[in-house]
Structures are given as structure tokens and as C-alpha cells.
Amino acid sequence: MHNQEKNIRVFDYTTLMERMRRLADAYSFVTLSYIGTSILDRAIPILHFGGGNRRVLYVGAHHGMEWITSLILTQFCEELCKVINSNERIYGIYPCELLKGYTLSILPMLNPDGVEYQIHGVDKDNPLHDRLLEMNGGSSDFSAWQANARGVDLNHNYDAGFDEYKKLEREKGIQKGAPTRYSGECAESEPEVAALCNLIRFSAPWRGVMTLHTQGEEIFAPLCKEKPKSEVTARRLSELTGYRLCRAKGLAAYGGLSDWCAEKLSIPAFTMECGRGKNPLPITQISSVYSTMRASLFLFPTIL
């Protein structure tokens, strides 16, 4: 079913939008909408499945080099559509039945501008061109870019330990926009993060959030005091993927989406570091990474 991957080397925003629209056109049970726009005015798509009041969210590509996570979630959407359409059973569940009680919301690419920089570089006509070159140490090679269009690392821009992170950031000499790790002027300063936070705040209650990153084959699950069952979910995700359960340390422990969901909103949240290798993982890894993640994606709502 994934023959179309044989002909592409990268998975950029244009390819994502084509695949999202194709699904929305082909299947009446899918709704395509947008949570907002990026700094460079790219609409950030989200697909909704089902209409139940138990809501579950999946998020990909906070980081420019991690666009393979957008492809993982796109393949998941495509497979989910087929399974629902033919009322098939998968991993012992009937998604068609499950979706009577659940809504699955899948947001494959939170940071389209960062992904575009990483894949296609920065054009001369980009209004931020000169500033970006400076942030990138004078280099026009943006292949290691993780941040958004103006050098903010989106997974440090959430309101969870933001002030503590600022101190660590200064100690590491990160003072302004950069390819990675700069958290922004204040929490939710970035439109991509603000749009996602608003979606989460105003469509509550959520049963759980899964965020996909690369790489390392690890799972980070911040403590969610009011939902002790989330520890069981984390262990189950670890069994389903073979990924190791870890606690975040140092700079990685602050300001992320999972931290904010668990600490501020008591929503069980799980960060999946998919695959193993060096970022960006080559697209040739997609079938092995997807097959490792597949059961956890389908079963996530049922183990929350």
C-alpha cells in the first residue's frame, strides 16, 4: 500500500497537503481542518476521525529534521481510512466501532516552516533570510534546522518549567533564535504552539496525547499525578513498540508538549522517539519505523 514512498526522497509540506486532501476527498468520515497558520502563513492541517467524546490526539514534526514523523502519521491516517471503510478488524479492535465512542485527531506536521527549511533551504526572498543566516552561524546549509521559521524550538515553547529552562538555556549560551533549543521570548510566543495549545484547551477533555519525534527508540512519559494509570499506558506502549521507557533529563526535561499536557492539564502524554540512527532519518527507514509504531498507533486510544 505504500508504493508511493518508493519515488520520493523526502516528505515535505506540499506532499503532506496532497495526501491529506486526497483522504478528505475520498472518505466522507474524515474531516480535514486547520488549527491555525505558521509564521510563514502555511495552514497547519489536522484530520479528525469519529465523533465520540473521548478525544485522543497525535502530533508529529515539532522539529524540522523530523519530517519522517509526518509520514508515519500520514500512513496511519491512510491505513485507518481503509480499515474503517472496509470495517476490518486490526490488532483485535474494529476502529469503525471504536470511533463511535472516540474522536481521533491527527496533526502530522506542527512545524511546516521548519520542515521546509530543512528540506529545501531558505530562499533569498524569505523576509527573514539575513537574520536566519546569522542564526545559522552564517551558513546557508539548513539541513540541521529543528526550530520554526524564526529560530524558536517549538518543543521548548510550552508553559511547563519555562523559567527553569530559561536559566539552563543561558548557561548553555543560547540567547536568541537558533537552529535548535532556543525556547522563545515567552511560553506560547509562537503561532504554531499557541494554535495547538488553544485546540487542546478549548476542545477538552482529552484522554491522551501522543507526540512523535525522532530518534532513539525511547518513550518519555512525564509524571501525570492525577492519572496514575498513565504509567501503565507508558509500559504498554513500550511493550507494543519495543522502545525503552525513559525519564527526560537536562534540557530535554522542560517546555515540551508532553510536559505541559501532563503537568498543567493532567492529560496523559507520551513522547515517542521513533526509529534509530542520525536525524533526519532517511525515508528508506519508513517501512521499518512504521511497522514498529503501527500497533501503538492503532491501540493507543484503548490503553488510556
Size of the site for Zn ion (CB under 5 A): 3
Taking the complex as a whole, the smallest distance from the CB of residue 208 to Zn ion amounts, in Å, to 19
**Rounded to whole angstroms, how far apart are CA atoms 193 and 202?**
14
Taking the complex as a whole, the smallest distance from the CB of residue 217 to Zn ion amounts, in Å, to 14
With CA atoms as reference, report the closest residue to 172 among 109, 77, 252: 252
Whether the Cβ atoms of residue 195 and residue 158 lie closer than 8 Å to each other: no
Task: Tell me which stretch binds Zn ion (CB under 5 A): 34-42, 61-69, 117-125, 228-236.
Answer: 61-69
Taking the complex as a whole, the smallest distance from the CB of residue 72 to Zn ion amounts, in Å, to 13
Task: Tell me which stretch binds Zn ion (CB under 5 A): 65-73, 78-86, 131-139, 251-259.
Answer: 65-73
Read off the DSSP letter of residue 158. S
Cα separations in angstroms, 72 against 8, 19, 52, 205, 292: 14, 12, 24, 25, 10
| 63 or 156: CB nearest Zn ion | 63
**Rounded to whole angstroms, how far apart are CA atoms 302 and 83?**
16
Taking the complex as a whole, the smallest distance from the CB of residue 273 to Zn ion amounts, in Å, to 8
**Rounded to whole angstroms, how far apart are CA atoms 244 and 34?**
33
- Find all residues with CB under 8 Å of 1, minimum gap 6, and list them: 78, 79, 82
Figure out which of the listed residues 166, 181, 213, 227 binds Zn ion, where binding follows CB under 5 A. 213
Taking the complex as a whole, the smallest distance from the CB of residue 61 to Zn ion amounts, in Å, to 8
Per rule CB under 5 A, is residue 63 in the interface with Zn ion? Answer: yes
Task: Tell me which stretch binds Zn ion (CB under 5 A): 15-23, 66-74, 191-199, 242-250.
Answer: 66-74
x/- track of binding to Zn ion for residues 40-59 (CB under 5 A): --------------------
User: Residue for cell digits 465523533?
Assistant: 51
User: Can you give the binding site for Zn ion, defined by CB under 5 A?
Assistant: 63, 66, 213
